[in-house]
Amino acid sequence: MKMTRAAVALCMVAASVGASAQVATGDTSSMKIALSNNYAGNSWRQQMLKSWSNVADPAVKEKIVAAAPTFTTAESQATEQVQQIQNLILQGYKAIAVDAVSPTALNGVIKQACSAGVTVVSFDGIATEPCAYRIAVDFQGMGRMQVDYLARRLNGKGNLLEIRGLAGVSVDDEIHQGIVDELKKYPGLKIVGSVHGDWTQTVAQKQVAGILPTLPKIDGVVTQGGDGFGAAQAIKAAGRPTPIIILGNRQEELAWWADQKKSGYETMSVTIPPGASTFAFWVTQQILAGKKVPHDIRMPVLEVKPDELAAVLVKTPAGALANKEYTRDEVVAVVDGHK
């Protein structure tokens, strides 16, 4: 399979810092790591959990760590995740990787964890408590990237529909802010409607169908992932022409794009890979092993471009996403590259 540019870039980083990248070898075989997750209601989160298991389970078998289970709240409520983390502290977990329900709602319990000697690493949904490590993606940059792409394609003029993610979660706020800020550069582009699709195809389809009758012609759709195909279905059902819809690497989106491409349709597809959880696993393990790691680390997004579509789609099963799962060496290379 031809590698995506993001994967190639990662390998280049690994190669460039390989000489200085150092894997910490402290003994973590008796230590338990947990993944605290606040939501599993879409394909991204489900694959994120699967990716964690794909990497963590072999690490347990190889006695790199003692255990590495995942825990997901039932209702995506901050109080639930606070209680979940409190229970993990009491159960003797030495480290917790956290996909946080909000940037601030978990700060109190994270501080409790740190005070109890528990290492906390947040990723995807980032926590702002200073004692936690943060693996960030430039989500605002992802929003800006979409606007810039549509500005080029539409010659700076057009009506946009914005599909946001899960309300109250930092990822949603960050992508939205990037979109809003970048639109200031293009006065001819304007958002004429906005809905929350919860990063889920069915929800996005329902919400878009509900708002379409109130909207003028749509030229482009900015999204957050898991919503592009739902938007396309709603727009088709309404008998409207298909606008340029930014996609989020889901297999059904990529398959739809491949079908549309036969008629000359072009777009772009980008999101954080579900394998971000594997990046978080190895960062967490390496901190426990004694590696000095900066509290703020940035990992790349995964973009599928038109010339990569066919190769990526062949390797992406139905119900899954284009993905990147990280090895320990790759993670250490990226971490050392940020020092």
Per residue of the chain (339 residues), give pLDDT as tens: 344 444 444 444 444 444 456 999 999 999 999 999 998 988 899 999 999 999 999 999 999 999 999 999 998 899 999 999 999 999 999 999 999 999 999 999 999 999 999 999 999 999 999 999 999 888 999 999 999 999 999 999 999 999 999 898 888 999 999 999 999 999 999 999 999 999 999 999 999 999 999 999 999 999 998 899 999 999 999 999 999 999 999 999 999 999 999 999 999 999 999 999 999 999 999 999 999 999 999 888 899 989 999 999 999 999 899 999 999 999 999 999 854
Classify domain 139-271 at the CATH topology level: Rossmann fold (3.40.50)
Q: What is the pTM of this model?
A: 0.81
Residue at token pair 């990248």:
21
Residue at token pair 């809003």:
180
Is 54 buried (19+), middle (13-18) or exposed (0-12) by CB count in 10 A? middle
Note the Cα 283 to chain centre separation in Å: 16
Backbone angles phi, psi at 128, to 5 degrees: -95, -5
- What the block records as the tokens of 190 is 């304007």
Is 249 buried (19+), middle (13-18) or exposed (0-12) by CB count in 10 A? buried
Q: Please, what sign has the CA dihedral across residues 23, 24, 26, 32?
A: negative
- What dotted CATH number matches 5-11+18-137+273-304+318-337? 3.40.50.2300
Note the Cα 253 to chain centre separation in Å: 16
* 194 φψ region: left (φ > 0), alpha (ψ -120 to 50), beta (else): beta
Around Cβ 66, how many Cβ atoms within 10 Å? 16
Q: Do 5-11+18-137+273-304+318-337 and 139-271 show the same overall fold?
A: yes
What residues does each domain of the chain span? 5-11+18-137+273-304+318-337, 139-271
